[in-house]
Amino acid sequence: MDTPALLKEALATFDVLFDEAQHAGEPDRTAMTLATASLDARPSARVVLLKAHDARGFVFYTHLDGRKGRELQSNPHAALLFHWPRVRNGVQVRIEGAVEIVSDAEADAYFASRPRGSQLGAWASKQSETLESREQFEHRLAHAESEFEGRDVPRPPRWTGLRVKPDVIEFWYGADFRLHERQAYERDIAGEWHRRMLFP
């Protein structure tokens, strides 16, 4: 299916800013705040790393049994925020949309690209559960090292990628005296994209 022209425009703008963030020396241009909410409307936020993006959406990886994974399975909608203070006079990119799990092939390919230590850590961690001591985690890590010694580490079945499919992409450009510039791209319920300026 063809990508709508305005979505192409928004993604092209993101790519320009993403490149500028690298050249501007941002410590990690892939760092983005991920906001989720439980079914009882309690929000939570944390920083995750962007691992892929295209017209389908913005992808990060996690354990489905951790808090964010549980919340996104019960309430599959999320917001992302990139903040690049070194770009121009400061830039923010806000993205909102529904969330889907990536294909097993995508998740397997990304997991295989990770350092072995990170792969083992994915098996050792019971994300968001209570940890009695650091030694408990180190014991689980040693167990994983022993279990997979001499062979490739497979992807844990509950460790995968999540894709935020954008319904909103907003660009915020900082300016003196808080006279900021905001431009939003939004998809309506019919699937049509629109662009509008917003007051700062």
The domains of the chain are located at 5-112+157-198
Cβ-contact 63, 162 below 8 angstroms = no
Cβ-contact 20, 198 below 8 angstroms = no
Q: Which of 178, 187, 195, 196 is catalytic?
A: 178
Task: Write out the chain's pLDDT in tens, 200 residues.
Answer: 678 999 999 999 999 999 999 999 999 999 999 999 999 999 999 999 999 999 999 999 999 999 999 999 999 999 999 999 999 999 999 999 999 999 999 999 999 999 999 999 999 998 888 888 999 999 999 999 999 999 999 999 999 999 999 999 999 999 999 999 999 999 999 999 999 999 99
User: What is the reported pLDDT for 1?
Assistant: 64
Task: Tell me which amino acid residue 20 is.
Answer: E
- Burial (0-12, 13-18, 19+ Cβ within 10 Å), 93: buried
Tokens encoding 181: 């510039």
CATH number assigned to the domain covering 5-112+157-198: 2.30.110.10
Q: What is the spatial distance between Cα 62 and Cα 154, in angstroms, rounded to a whole number?
A: 15
Place of tokens 């929000």: 43
Catalytic residue check, 178: yes
User: What is the reported pLDDT for 98?
Assistant: 98
